[in-house]
Amino acid sequence: MARVFRGSLLLMSPAAAAAAAGAKKAASTKPRAPAGITKPMPVSEAFRRFAGGAREVARSEAIKLVWAHIKAHGLQNPSNKTEINCDATLKSLFGGRDKIGMMEVSKLLSPHFLKN
């Protein structure tokens, strides 16, 4: 049993060395530019007012801003946490709706991201 174990250590050591070399290569590459939901996009005037005047906002940041507003103002329905009761600010963003589901937030924000 000891011979097999020692032999496997010898076989594993080149693999471990190759993995460590691969990790060093990955660290030396340039960081990627933001893409997808992390790429800042131009936003509508209504969302610009909500976001404090920012002309471009990433989708991920927009959702974080909306959720921060919801949490700060206690807009989640206490009996059903998946439901959000809209105040005047959110009504202006979400087309005048009184209530929305938490999974609808990103869909309802889509019209506020302008296409170039």
Q: What is the pLDDT of residue 22?
A: 64
Q: What is the pLDDT of residue 10?
A: 56
Count CA atoms closer than 13 A to 90's CA, side-chain side.
28
pLDDT tens, the chain, 116 aa long: 555 666 565 566 666 666 666 666 656 788 888 888 889 999 999 999 999 999 999 999 999 999 999 999 999 999 999 999 999 999 999 999 999 999 999 999 999 999 87
The CB-side HSE value for 58 (13 A sphere, CA atoms) comes to 10
Q: What is the pLDDT of residue 93?
A: 94
pLDDT at position 21 is 63
38-73 b/e (C-beta count within 10 Å ≥ 16 → b): eeebebeeebbebbeebeebbbeebeebbeeebeee
Residue type, 14: P
Q: Please give the domain boundaries of the chain with CATH numbers for all domains.
A: 36-112 (1.10.245.10)
